[in-house]
Structure formats: structure tokens, C-alpha cells
Structure 1
Amino acid sequence: MPSPSTTVCNQMIRGYALSDTPQQSVELYCRMLYEEGLVPDEYTYSNLASACAQSLMFREGEQIHGSVLSNGYYSNSFVRTNLINLYLGLGDEVGLVNAYKVFEEMSDENNPVTWNSLLSGHIRCGDFDGAVRIFDGMPVRNLVSWTTMLSGCARNGWYRHALLLFQEMRRTGLELDQASLTVVLSVCAELGDLSTGKWIHSYVNKAFDGRTRDSCVRLHNALIHMYANCGVIEDACRIFEEMPCRTIVSWTTMIMGYCKHGFAKKALEVFEWMQNSDEVKPDARTLLGVLSACSHGGYVEKGCRYFNEMEEKWAISPSIEHYGCLVGLLSRAGFLEEAQRLIETILMEANDIVWGALLCGCMIHRNPDIVSYAAQKLIMKPDLEKIEYLVPMSNNYATARRWGEVAIWKNMIETSSKNDNSRSWVQINEVIHEFMAGDIHTTSIYEMLNRLSNEIRYDDNHHDTSEELINL
């Protein structure tokens, strides 16, 4: 094109801004100014600010901001909104401060797009209190506002707040869409909130006609995940089987669901079904679920075959998590020395997942020598603040009646519990109760456990001391 107009250049800049190479928008802008001698307008700067935000070109974005001011396009709400998104992309307090400066100078303070941008910025920064302040102060909340807040709560683990927010959203009468419902279903899966999950399932059946439901693949995947996590694997299976179209996420979610509930054979049957259907090819996460199923089901030969097929058949390089599953498979089946040799051949550095898998296998087959070896490797890891690895070590010494070592490991467990922010939830009579690891409000439970532990130790000569093992 010998002499493009500003309008044509704007369309090309916008196209680059929405592509995988948004930085080319800035290159085209430079050619537009210095080679073609064209005059940019508000659409040019709006698309450029968006491109800089997408490609994290903050220095170039600041220069665009200066050009906007000098050329008199600062009053345009689209330009300002994209400048706000640019500064929020920094993901820190400086970015928030600059974004607020732009926001406070806007004449159209009721623009929901701009408010939604600020809300997203606070959530990306992990500033929950700031996000709540913005959300509560919004003059107008649209569906995007609610979904953004719900999604932020879910991503940051604010599950209970997300459910309260969803209840408030329902009272507004807004028509719920796939995006918002998918987010809430993920929250239900984390909390085990079957009641809300079933309500959403009923809403989907009523609000979406048959044709629309056929296109709700993400929503169906979320329903499968919710039912599986809430323990109703039969309903998850029914939704999966009735889906007219399945993605790799659908297959993987169903495999993981069966695996989670100990139905290793069922999980592998779904994997075989997937391969025979020719709908999709497995990805790394799918094979992680398959190897986990083999590990829990004791399918050593199948597990080794699937592991070898990862690169040979599917061109997927095994990650350290895949190796961890294979080590767990061999260890659980009693092939402890083979598992140990496998760890030594891994090109990547074995992490706590791999050593923990070996440790748990040794506990099953009562091999104190390899337990000590794995324990020493785990102690050297800087991220050992995990109870699931400390407990088996303590249990190993309890089995061997080495009470001095048991006391040491129990002390480490108590220390780890104080630093552990792990939470769990249980729903009783539609009320969700939250528990934290090492919660001081459960002292009566620990007092009873200590009493039982002392009685077991006192009666050590009359029973198997494996009953003294800790189970968290």
C-alpha cells in the first residue's frame, strides 16, 4: 500500500494490538509518523495504549501518554481507559497510583469500563481490601463487574467471600452467563458446596435452551469438576457422557475425578475411551492423571508403558510431577530399589514431590533404611514446611519404637502447622465451616489426641505400635 491513510493505519495498529505481536503496533506508529507523515488521532492513541498494555511496554506507554497530552486527546474516555490498563499492568503500587491519577482526571466518572479496569488492577495486585473498596464504590455494576470480582476472589482463595458475593449478585436480578457460573462452580468445588452447585446446574437447565447448552463446554467441564470434588462422581459421569462435544479439559477432568475417588480402573477406561474416540490427544495434565490412577491402582506395567509412550507416542516431555507419579507407582508396589534408581536417572533435580513419593512407599513396605535416605534428602529441601512429608517420617520412627526421634519430628510438625496457611472446609446443614492447619481454637482435639497417644505408648507391650501413627 503506497500511501495509507490514518484510518487504515489505525485498523492495522488495532489488529496488531489484538494479535500475538502487539509490539508491532508501536513500530507501525513510528512509520506512520516519520515515514508517511500522517497525523494520529484518538483512535490511534487508544489502540497504541492497549498494545503497550498487552506487551508490557511501559516506557513506550509513558511516551504515548505524553503524546496524548500534547495533542489534546486526553479527554477521550477510551484513551484514558487504555492508559489506566497500561499502568495497572505494572502490577504494583506505583502502577496503581498512576492509574488513579488518570482516573481522577476523567470527566466521565460513571464509566463502568474504567471502574472494571481499576477493580481488575487491585485484584491482580492481590489487594483484596482495595478491590472491595472499588467494588463497593462503583456507581454502576454490570455483569463484567460482578464476574471480575468473583474471579478475583476465586483466584486468590477468598472462597467464602465469593459465595456471599454470588448470593448478593443473584438478588440483583442480573442474568447469569457462562463466565460467572463457571467461576462460582470452581468455588463450589473448592469448598465442597454441593447445594450451590446443584442450584447452578438447575439454573443452567432452565436458562439455557438445548441449542445453547450444546455450546456450554466450559460450563459442563466446571459441573463435572464440581460434582467430582463434592463426592458425587455418578452425576459427574452422567454429565460427561451426555456432552455432545468434549475438549481435552473434559476428558482430563473426568479422569482426575475418578482418580480422586480411588476409581483407578474407571479412570483408565476413560483414557482408553478418549484414545479410541479420536476427538482429542492427551496433554501433560491428562497423562499426569493417568499415571496417578496407575499409582493408586497398582497398575505397574500399564503405568510404565504410559510413561514411556509420553515422548514416543504423544511427544510430551515428562515433567518432575510425572516422574513423581512413576516413583510413587513403583514405591507403592514394593519396587523400592527400582524407584530409588529411577530418581538417580532423572535429569532434573528431584523435588519434594519425588522424595515424598518414595518416602510414602517405604512407609507402606516398612523399609526404614530407604525412609532415612529419603528423609535426609527432604530435609535438605528449603520448602520442607509441609506436614504431608513430616508426618510419614514421624510415623516411621514410631513404628520402630524410637520415641526420641518421634518427639523431634512431632516438634517439627507443630512448627510447620503454625506456619501453614492450609485450609479445609466442611458443609453441615448448608453451613460451611472453615478449618486451618494447627488452629489454636481446636485445642480440645489436640488434648484428646495427646491423651490417646500417651495411653498407646504406656500400653506399648500389648499391641502393635503402628496404631500410634499420626494421621492428619
Structure 2
Amino acid sequence: MRKSPSPRSLPTWNSMIRSSVTTRRFLESLFIYSSMRRAGLCGDNFTIPLVAKACAKLNCLRDGSKVHAHSILIGCEWDVFVQTSLVDMYSKCSAAVEARRMFDAMPIRNLVSWNCMISSYGRRETLVNTSFELLGRMRALGLKPNLSTFLGLVSGCGGSSGWVLPQGSSLHGYRIKLGLDAELCFSNSLIGMYMNCGSVDAALALFESMEERSAVSWTSVIGGYARAGDCSNALKSFNEMRRCDDDVVGLDTVSYLNLISACALSGSSSQVGAAHALTVKSGCGGQSCITNFLLNSYSRCQDLSSAEMVFNWTPEKDVCSWSSMIVGYAQNGCPSQALSTFGKMLSVGTQPNEVTITTMLSACADFGALYVGQKIDAYVKATSKKLESDRRVQTSLIHMYCRCGCVEKAREIFHSARCKDLAMWTCMISGYAAHGMGREALDLYVEMKRQGKIDVDALVFTGILSACGHSGLIEEGLAFFRSMQEDLHIDPSLEHHLCLVDMLCRGGQLDAALEAIQRMPSQVQTRGWSPFLSACRSHVPGSHLKEFGGAGTLSAAHHMQLQSCGDYVLVAQTYASLGRWKDATAIRRLMEEKGFVKQPGWSRRMESSICEARPPNTQGVSDQGAVPL
């Protein structure tokens, strides 16, 4: 078709777009659609659903909105298939409000339309109740739900919090009432839901009642144990599966992956080694996915030597193998090894993927390696348009540049991104916050809310509160803290409380900060004392020190539930700044008795080896001079 000299007709363009979507080349399908528009063709009600599906798969809300606008221009916005595809696109792009607006505007809704909207709410645990309300409305209109309806509902009831378990249990009742108990995929989904909600007994009861079990049934149970970190029961179920004589229930790669996952979540490297031995014995130990999973599992157990052994023994290393090893180094605090491995990967001609790039950029951010991060940025732009437009890569670049102090470059990447998701907005807001650019962070939040297509979450407010704290915007920060709870019904997390305390301390409002600490849940109050004590050293500390030091040094340490070396050092330094050297000495002694050791400081240089700078053996410093304790 590309070589054809004659102009292409609309069915030809639709066929090309359909071919790209069917073969999962979604970005290519958008390019074909753009070429079709430039050729003077507008598309029809067959074009729009295909392009909307591509936007949904790419999670590209901006282009999806343009497709929606174009459907209105060409007059096919009232086609039920077009509307259903747009509802599906908005829901998969996390724009639940737009999806519901589109759904409510539909004059005719078929079962597929209802299923799309129910699945949209079902994807988010917090909106499960709304999805069940839609189910009730659908049944009241005389539409009978099918298997797809219930599968969409089950996915939302499988959250780890467990509060949606009653709704999920009602689906179990529907399974029997509507004669869907013979549907194996529905039963397997229910088992997964029960396991995710921590209701192991209900999952096992359903599993035992099943007349027919597939490999998915067994792996759902094993996977549930794996997510719960119950290695012993995962191994027990795995061995029972091995003893099963049914040809349908055969051990497959997924079974071994679930077993390895269970062992990794237990944190035991020896258990991972046992699972490793089983994979070798079964003959599937050389499979790429098994090898890569073992690399990740050993790294998760902080056993880098075993991970390196598996990596070195892998004869043909693909991009996932290299990426897994790089991720292992980065997650275990070895960014220099991650950078070195990335260089070796490029030297052997292996092209990195988005996981490799995002991990490397994270390592550069942790390492402060701006020069290397810039080289990776240039490499991405020069070699891969797909990587350059990948939202995760763009978000990682923003994070890296912000961490390395290049806020303007981060802002440039942010504004050039075509499809911005919540993670990207949050990353840019947090970047502004870290550099004291509070007004810019608040303006960006207002812009995100103005667009109205992305639902904010708790993490956004962590960045907003941090921005207010670093910029002295106390009143604005308090207003956001109240709005988060009252308007958006988001319960404050530990990070929110800490940001609030830090903001009040930076603003010198120590009384309000002390009240905020006392309102925090008792089990996390200890984290709030560090910013408070730091502020006490800068703002007339005497009166506030009585809150925790009036009854004696040891009672102060007990009252604040000091749990880290840094907390003890901070209390000792606070006493030292007041001239209470005996109390400072007692805190230091208590720190040693509890086994806390202050690690020496160190610094890195990219050009040479790591240098350590150890502090002198001086315990207290006051404004009048250093006094050894």
C-alpha cells in the first residue's frame, strides 16, 4: 500500500490502522492516523474506535481528547460504538470524570457500554461502590450482566486493603445464582480477589469446591501465598500441584515464577536458592523469564553475589537480563556498579529499554551524576523516538534533573511532554518543592486541576505541603491540608503529617508544630520529633524543650521513642546547644548502650575512587567553641 502511486481510500487507511492496532503497534497507528488527516481524509465511525483504542493502550489522554473532538467535527459522536470506545479510552487513561460524562451523554447504551463504565470504576478500589451502583442501575433497566461484567467488578474488589471484601463476596453469590459457577476464569478471579484481600480461608474453600481446576487455579493460590510472603504454604501448594496427575494441571513457567516470588517476598535468599534448584531440576531454569526473575529475587533478598552468579552464568543476556542486574545494583545502594553495568551493556550492542533507562536515571539522581544523566538523555533522543516519548522515561528525566539541580531543564521536558499522567505532574511539583519554588509548585497544581482530566492522589499533596514548607507559605499549606481531608476525603498519611510538622517548624510556629505532633498516631510520633528538635535549636528552644526534657534526660528519650542514631544525635546536640552537657553525655551513652553507631560521612567523585571523610572524636559543639564530652 505504501508503494501504491494512487491516492489511498478511507477503507485502505482504516485497514492500515486496524493492522497496527491488532499487532499492538499502537504508536504507529497514531502516526498513520495523522498521515491520513494530512492527506485530507477525516475518518469515520470505523476509524475513531481504532484510534481511541490505541490512545487507551498508550495511556495518552491528550491525543485521546483530540480524537474525541475530531469525532464531534465529523459528526459520528453519537455512534454507540464510537461513544463506547471513548468511554473505554477515558477510563483506561485514569480520567474517570470524563468517562462518566461521556457515558451519561450516551442516548443508547448497550451491554458493552455498561461493562466499560463498570470496569472503569472497578479498576480503582476507592470507586468500587460506584461500580456496584451502576450494576444495580443496569439490572433495573432490564440488562442482564454477563461474565465480562463480573470480571470487571472482581478486579476492583481485589485491593489489598480488604474493605471491599463484602462486595466481592456478593459477587461470589452472583456466581452461583446466575449459573456462572462453571466459568473457570470467574472462579479463578474470585480466588485471586480473596487472596489479595487476605481472606485465605475463603479462597481455599472456593478452590476446594471447584470440580475443575486449571493451572491458573493453582497458580492463583500459590501467587496469593506469594504476595502474603507465606513461603511455607506456597511451597506446600506447589508440591501438591506437582503431585496432581491431571494433564490439564501441568507445571508451567508461571508456577515456578510464583514459587520464586513467594520465596523472594519471605526475604530468605536460601529459599530462593531452593526454588532455583527446582527450576534447574525441571529443565526450565535456562528460560529467560526464569533467569530474570531469579536475578530480581536474589537482589530483593540483598544477595547480590548470587544475582551476579546467575547473571554471569546466563549464556545469552537479553535486555531484561541486563536491566534486572542494573535494577538490583540500584536498589541495593550500588549506583556505581549500576552505571558500570550499563556501560558494559552498551559495549556489547544490547539496546536498553524503558526499564533500563528509568533505572539508570534513578541511579544518576541518587549518585548526583548529572553528566551521565545528560549523556543518557542525549542517547535516548538520538536512538529511539519511542523511548523519548515514553512517559516513564520523561518522568525519570524530570526527577533526575530536579535532583541534580537543573530545574529549568526538567521544566523544559515537562512542558514538551505530549501525554502527562499523574506521576509526571507529581514529579514536577515535588521538584519545585525541593528547590523552594513554592509558588511555581502551587501554580502547577492549579493548572493540573484546571485541566480536570486527572484525579489527584495523596502523593500530590506530599509535594504540595513540602513546597509550602520550603517556601514559607504556611497559610496556603494549612489550607491544602484541610482541603485534602474535607474536599477530597484523603486521610493524611505519615508523610503528610511530617510535611505539616516540618512546614510549621520552618515557619517558627513551634507551638502549632508541637500540637501537630501530639495529634499524630502514637506509633509514628517519633518521626515528628526530628524536625521539631532541629527547629528548637534555631528558635528560642528553652520553653519547648520542657515538653520532653523537664522530667530528666532518660524520660525525654523514652517520651520521644527515639529509634535511630540520628534522633539520638539530634537530642544530644539540642542539649549541647543549651549548655546541658551532662544531659548530652547521658544521651550519647544511652545511644551506645542501645547499639546505635554513627556512620562516618563520605563523599563520591565520578572521576576517581570513593573517599571517606571520618569526623573527629568530638561529641559536642556549641556557639562558644567545641567542647569534648
**TM norm. shorter chain > 0.5:** yes
**SS, match of residue 427 in structure 1:** coil
Quick one: which of 216, 219, 243 aligns to 1:50? Answer: 219
State how far apart, in whole Å, the 1-side matches of 2:497 and 2:377 are: 37
Counting only pairs closer than 5 Å after superposition, residues 360-439 of structure 1 correspond to structure 2 as 360-374=534-548, 377-387=556-566, 389-408=567-586, 419-420=597-598, 425-428=603-606, 430-431=607-608, 433=610, 435=612
Residue number in structure 2 paired with 1:439: none
Residue number in structure 1 paired with 2:301: 125
Residue number in structure 1 paired with 2:493: 319
Q: Is the 8 A contact 2:192 2:224 kept in 1?
A: no
Residue number in structure 1 paired with 2:358: 182
Instruction: List alignment gaps of at least 5 residues for structure 2.
Output: 1-146, 148-181, 227-231, 550-554
State how far apart, in whole Å, the 2-side matches of 1:345 and 1:110 are: 55
State how far apart, in whole Å, the 1-side matches of 2:234 and 2:585 are: 59
Identity across aligned pairs (percent)? 24
Aligned residues: 430
Aligned partner letter, 1:446 = P
1:467, CA displacement in angstroms? 6.4
Aligned partner letter, 2:605 = Q
1:360, CA displacement in angstroms? 2.2
Give per-residue Cα distances to partners, 1:334-374, cap 9 Å, x unaligned: 32223323333345445232122222222221222313434
**SS, match of residue 105 in structure 1:** helix
State how far apart, in whole Å, the 2-side matches of 1:13 and 1:413 are: 56
1:297, CA displacement in angstroms? 1.7
Q: Is the 8 A contact 1:84 1:103 kept in 2?
A: no
Change in Cα spacing, 1:191 to 1:417, as seen in structure 2 (3 Å) is farther
**SS, match of residue 252 in structure 2:** helix
Aligned partner letter, 1:56 = Y
Residue number in structure 1 paired with 2:434: 260
Q: Is the 8 A contact 1:189 1:225 kept in 2?
A: yes
**SS, match of residue 419 in structure 1:** coil
Residue number in structure 1 paired with 2:255: 82
Quick one: which of 432, 446, 453 aligns to 2:616? Answer: 446
1:417, CA displacement in angstroms? 10
Q: Is the 8 A contact 2:429 2:441 kept in 1?
A: yes
Give per-residue Cα distances to partners, 1:261-292, cap 9 Å, x unaligned: 22223222222222223242332221112112
Change in Cα spacing, 1:88 to 1:295, as seen in structure 2 (3 Å) is closer
State how far apart, in whole Å, the 1-side matches of 2:420 and 2:208 are: 45
Residue number in structure 2 paired with 1:171: 347
Quick one: which of 441, 445, 450 aligns to 1:271? Answer: 445
Aligned partner letter, 1:433 = I
1:67, CA displacement in angstroms? 4.7
Counting only pairs closer than 5 Å after superposition, residues 5-84 of structure 1 correspond to structure 2 as 12=185, 16=189, 20=193, 34=211, 44-45=214-215, 47-56=216-225, 59=233, 62-63=236-237, 65-69=239-243, 71=245, 79=252, 82-83=255-256
Aligned partner letter, 2:335 = Y
State how far apart, in whole Å, the 2-side matches of 1:339 and 1:268 are: 22
Indicate yes or no: 2:352 matched with 1:202.
Answer: no
Q: Is the 8 A contact 1:393 1:409 kept in 2?
A: yes
State how far apart, in whole Å, the 2-side matches of 1:431 and 1:415 are: 38
Higher relative contact order (CA 8 A, sep 6+): 1
State how far apart, in whole Å, the 2-side matches of 1:420 and 1:394 are: 13
Change in Cα spacing, 1:151 to 1:374, as seen in structure 2 (3 Å) is farther
Aligned partner letter, 1:126 = Q
Q: Is the 8 A contact 2:280 2:286 kept in 1?
A: no
Instruction: List alignment gaps of at least 5 residues for structure 1.
Output: 2-8, 436-441, 458-464
Segment drifting more, 83-92 vs 144-153: 83-92
TM-score, length-normalised on structure 2?
0.60
